[in-house]
Structure 1
Amino acid sequence: MAFFEVDGQALHYIDQGTGPAVLLAGSYLWDQAMWAPQIAALSPHYRVIALDLWGHGESGRLPEGTASLDDIARQALALLDHLDIDRVTLVGLSVGGMWGVRLALSAPQRLNGLVLMDTYVGVEPEPTRQYYFSLFKQIEESGGISEPLLDIVVPIFFRPGIDRASALYQDFRAKLAGYSAERLRDSIVPMGRITFGRDDLLPRLGELNAATTLVVCGDQDKPRPPSEAREMAELIGCPCVLVPEAGHISNLENPAFVTDTLLKFLAGLK
């Protein structure tokens, strides 16, 4: 395990393989282990870095003063500086794409390519934002994610037809149930508020390099539906690929399709 201290906290990351650098940025409530199938396939050909969000996996708590996705992007850029990586292809899923776009816009010279997966950089629709914030309030007040709340939260991440007895589903549920009150209140809930209280970057998507950008979305993603992916791809002017039989965590619900898509995209950047 490797750690990098930034803004007074230890950011956990893995760094595996050699070759052109690829940074994997994952979803809220998931850690870098979510990328296991892609790391296994990419690391024989690429240098793959995957990090844990604050309060997730092995990373420390959300640093004092971290108040926006721009801060997360700045911290990730500091990690790349620490690793002496001049240019990287960033693959961002969900919140990873939300801060990934901010990194791309603030430091375009650092990117070889950008893949935006199951993400949206417009503002959160107001009814959804209020709903998520109400869930955060419940979690904060109780200091845990109750069984009834798990029944609401966990299915959001998967396609409707997933086998709820599967290891993928049950392991994720168990991880959420195991979060301490301290971790929830210090990092998970504040990180959620940062994510779903984000500002609107849709007007700036035209600044991205369409030739080196790809939008990917699970065809059954509920929180970030294909309509949002198509909207972003149109604003960027880049292709949009739908992942069959996949919900929000499309890279784990259909890992072979996503990995193949990433390998083809990366090969095209050389």
Structure 2
Amino acid sequence: MPFATIDGQPLHYLDQGHGPVVVLGSSYLWDQSMWAPQIEALSKHYRVIVPELWGHGRSGRLPEGMNSLDDLSRQTLALMDLLEIDCFNLVGLSVGGMWGARLALAAPERVQSLVLMDTYVGVEPEPTRLYYFSLFDKIEASGAIPEPLLDIIVPIFFRPDIDPQSALYQQFRATLAALPTERLKDSIVPLGRIIFGRDDILPRLPGLDARRTLVMCGDQDKPRPPSEALEMAELIGCEHVLIPQAGHISNLENPEFVTEALLKFLKRMH
């Protein structure tokens, strides 16, 4: 898979399939493999591009001077420019939706459709912001994600009744446990502070094209509850879909439902 130099750092991305372009924006702490079921299905009809977040997968470290989700939006547009892609569809989950909404507002002529999944573009509620920042302080101090913190962080991403011995759960836990100190300190923790210290763009949501926007959310998403998804959908005036039997990484907990919903939506757009 190829790399592009953006803001002086190597950005790793997947580029698979042919047809109209679909960009998949990943969740914090996950690499492009989180989209495996959707990549397989969508790439039969579309050109699927999945950039990996800084410090995630094989992407380089967080570029110097980055301090906002607007930077992630701008960097994704820079990747599209390098690939000579004028227009694309954008599906963003979690932080992928946070910067995805900003990109759609900044360059509406380039975003043909937008799917916001398990995400929220308002400010992080103060209690959770302080809580997440305290976790970042602990990770930074220890240079690792120790066992007690893994027991706290990993369950956040899944529905409450997931089997902790399942491959999905265990693989994610092992990935976090193996993150090297340098990557945690240079990229993962500072990016986390950017994500959870974000500014509020809820008032700008009515500026999105409601006919070309879809909001989706796992019915058991804990960090980004369905109430937040409904709030955004009402501000945009767009369709809203609840994903059954799914937590935060809804596309992996109920891949068939999500993939079918995305294919149906994209078909309408093209």
The TM-score, its normalising length taken from structure 1, stands at 1.00
| 1:146 pairs with 2:149 | no
- Give the 3-state SS of the residue equivalent to 2:113 in structure 1: strand
Instruction: Write out aligned runs for 1:10-29 (5 A).
Output: 10-29=10-29
- Give the 3-state SS of the residue equivalent to 2:176 in structure 1: helix
Aligned residues: 270
| Structure 1: unaligned runs, 5 residues or longer | none
Match of 1:31 in 2: 31
Match of 1:90 in 2: 90
- Give the 3-state SS of the residue equivalent to 2:109 in structure 1: helix
User: Residues 117-143 of structure 1, C-alpha deviation per residue, up to 9 Å, x if partnerless?
Assistant: 000000000000000000000000000
Instruction: Write out aligned runs for 1:191-230 (5 A).
Output: 191-230=191-230
How far apart are residue 51 of structure 1 and its match?
1.0
Instruction: Write out aligned runs for 1:75-114 (5 A).
Output: 75-114=75-114
Match of 1:41 in 2: 41
| 1:126 pairs with 2:126 | yes
C-alpha separation in 2, matches of 1:161 and 1:114: 30
How far apart are residue 66 of structure 1 and its match?
1.1
- Give the 3-state SS of the residue equivalent to 1:158 in structure 2: coil
Match of 1:165 in 2: 165
C-alpha separation in 2, matches of 1:172 and 1:221: 17
The TM-score, its normalising length taken from structure 2, stands at 1.00
C-alpha separation in 2, matches of 1:43 and 1:254: 19
| Structure 2: unaligned runs, 5 residues or longer | none
C-alpha separation in 2, matches of 1:14 and 1:84: 16
- Give the 3-state SS of the residue equivalent to 1:23 in structure 2: strand
| Identity of matched residues, % | 73
Match of 1:136 in 2: 136
User: Residues 33-60 of structure 1, C-alpha deviation per residue, up to 9 Å, x if partnerless?
Assistant: 1000000000010000001000000000
C-alpha separation in 2, matches of 1:108 and 1:66: 23
User: Residues 145-176 of structure 1, C-alpha deviation per residue, up to 9 Å, x if partnerless?
Assistant: 01000000000000000011000000000000
Letter in 2 for 1:210: A
After the TM superposition, which segments of 4 or more aligned residues of structure 1 sit over 2 Å from their partners?
Answer: none
RMSD of equivalent CA atoms: 0.4
Match of 1:116 in 2: 116
